[in-house]
Amino acid sequence: MNENYQPVALVIKDWLKFAVGELKQVDIDSARLDAEIILAHSLKKNRTYLHAHIDEILSDRTKEIADARLALRLDHVPIAYIIGHKEFYGRKFVVTTATLIPRPESETIIELLKEVLPKKQSLFGENVTRLVDVGTGSGCLGITAKLEIPELQVTLLDVSAQALTIAKKNANMLKADVELQKSNLLNDYLFTPEVIIANLPYVDPSWDRSRETDYEPGVALFANQDGLSLIYKLIDQSEIALKSTGILILESDTRQHDEIIKYASKNNFNLLKKSGFCLAFGKI
């Protein structure tokens, strides 16, 4: 940042103008939005407050906090890590560098879940319907599934103990009655679920990607075999683990969909629905 920028009495509109200019210089497309989020969070207000108080003078302490957060964003640290949370399906989830940042694209998993479950009427019989969220990270998928479909019995799995700590915090904060378990994919999960959902690492390390992803945990992003190794392994496990009426919902890059559909069909899964980045399968 420009160290010579030292106005005597800095008001909200001036800080925003400065911050937007700095962010644009480092090619951040969401410069205005990010500047507003940073300042609003530093003031412990919402963005609407900024628009209604553009001439309010910032205290030295507020400016110091906002400047420090702006410096992080100028280094392309994701805004969610800077403010410590990200909205997913209309709810706020705590995130840290131990977890992948929830993406809007992943909300399609919840939409597919709602769409395909009623077609499997046997799942809503007298027995409990188990759903397992594999590679849960922040817990956004499994927790959202539980809150949207309360009759589900949901277990969140992750290989990272740090991620599970964040997922537990989110479950408690959102009052979601879910179970948590440390497991590498389904290796340590002993039950037979009716539903498996997963946003596993599917990025091939050779792909072009944004600088922001450098701050996310590599274990939650990257996979070998053109990004498909963990997805293939979960499909293998799901063929055995899922009940005969079971559903498997996966997220991946759209360029991987054809290969995933072919692999799944060889493992006794048929495609029920494809939407956005997500695929829903049923056992044959």
**Span between the terminal Cα atoms of the chain, in Å:** 58
3-state DSSP assignment of residue 18: helix
What's residue 269's pLDDT? 97
Per-residue pLDDT of 117-128, as tens digits, reads: 865 554 555 567
Q: Is 136 buried (19+), middle (13-18) or exposed (0-12) by CB count in 10 A? A: buried
Using DSSP bridges, classify how beta strands 91-94 and 269-275 pair: parallel, antiparallel or unpaired: unpaired
Residues ≥6 apart with Cβ < 8 Å to 84: 94, 95, 96
pLDDT of residue 73: 98
Confidence (pLDDT) at 117: 87
* Homologous superfamily of domain range 12-75: Ubiquitin-associated (UBA) domain (1.10.8.10)
Give me the pLDDT at residue 46, please: 94
Task: Tell which residue, 222, 97, 90, 102, has the closest CA to residue 163.
Answer: 97
Whole-number Å distance between alpha carbons of 282 and 284: 6
Q: What pLDDT, on a 0 to 100 scale, did the predictor assign at position 245?
A: 85
pTM score, whole prediction: 0.92
Residue 126: per-residue pLDDT: 55
pLDDT at 87: 97
Domain boundaries, the chain: 12-75, 98-283
Domain 98-283 bears CATH identifier 3.40.50.2000: no
Which pLDDT tens digit goes with each residue over 228-269? 999 999 999 999 999 988 999 999 999 999 999 999 999 999
pLDDT under 50: residue ranges of the chain: 122
